Amino acid sequence: MPDAAAYESLHDIVAARRSVRRFKPAPVSRELVEKVLEVARLSPSAANSQPWEFVVVEDADIRRNVALAAASVFADARKKDPTFEWSVSVQPFLFQAPVIILVLGDRRMLPAYPTILRGNVLLRQSLSICVYGLQLAAASLGLATAWGTLQGGAAEAGIREMLGIPDVFTIDHIVPLGYADEVEGARATALEPARSRAPHRRSLDEVVHWGRFDEAKRRSDEAAGEFIWSETVTRVRRQA
């Protein structure tokens, strides 16, 4: 029998979760952090490889240094990709969160995956689903998270050294965990695209094809391109 109440609670949590990019300094107890990671560790993974490990950073000085390293890519990146809406990103605000969780990926699990498939993709997919599980668990406890992407370079090397993370681990995802600063989040003009656009999702009818791909629903290339500029949080047309 379908459990309507379970579905409703899951749906409510999924629908209410938002990426939060401004945090209050209020601490999060270890008990809550463990509850969140308990759900993350139960995530499915390619071949049940469970490639994840978590570094939980609570110390204020270390958090600040990790956050500074993650944010350091931005100054340069802004120049290289000026139409990208960098200001929506959480990275420069990671330092606000009382807890930063680094989700590591153990590359030594790659041989678990079928050699005909791209192991790197399977590793990354597994880690992504784990991050989402973590985010949902946090949301169910009234805690806020965001998703900080880190992809190599000096920032990753700096964090690796700071936290003693061995080379065999990827450090792709940094998740701040804390309580949302609703006031600052509502006020920050930089977060306007996130406030107005991020809650939108394409409708069920648009994205579901029953039986076979429904040509009538096919988005034109123009519509897909326009979607990027009108719906994503990272490309926003500026007023001339």
Ligand X SMILES: Cc1cc2nc3c(=O)[nH]c(=O)nc-3n(C[C@H](O)[C@H](O)[C@H](O)COP(=O)(O)O)c2cc1C
Residues that bind ligand X (CB under 6 A): 18-19, 21, 89-91, 128, 146-149, 198, 233
Task: State the nearest-atom distance from the C-beta of 240 to ligand X, in Å.
Answer: 25
Q: Which of 100, 106, 125, 120 is nearest to 178 (CA)?
A: 100
Task: State the nearest-atom distance from the C-beta of 36 to ligand X, in Å.
Answer: 16
Per the listing, tokens 């204020």 go with 60
Q: Which helix or strand (DSSP H or E) is residue 101 part of?
A: strand 99-106
Using the minimum distance from each CB to ligand X, give the nearer residue, 18 or 235.
18
Using the minimum distance from each CB to ligand X, give the nearer residue, 19 or 45.
19
Note whether 20 and 146 are within 8 A (CB): yes
Residue 89 has which token pair?
A: 């990103």
Task: State the nearest-atom distance from the C-beta of 37 to ligand X, in Å.
Answer: 19
Using the minimum distance from each CB to ligand X, give the nearer residue, 1 or 21.
21
Q: Which helix or strand (DSSP H or E) is residue 56 part of?
A: strand 52-57
Using the minimum distance from each CB to ligand X, give the nearer residue, 92 or 98.
92
Task: State the nearest-atom distance from the C-beta of 229 to ligand X, in Å.
Answer: 14
Kindly give, in sequence order, each residue whose CB lies less than 8 Å from that of residue 17, ignoring residues fewer than 6 positions away: 135, 136, 139, 145
Task: State the nearest-atom distance from the C-beta of 42 to ligand X, in Å.
Answer: 19
CA-CA distance, 128 to 110, in Å (whole number)?
16
Using the minimum distance from each CB to ligand X, give the nearer residue, 109 or 139.
139
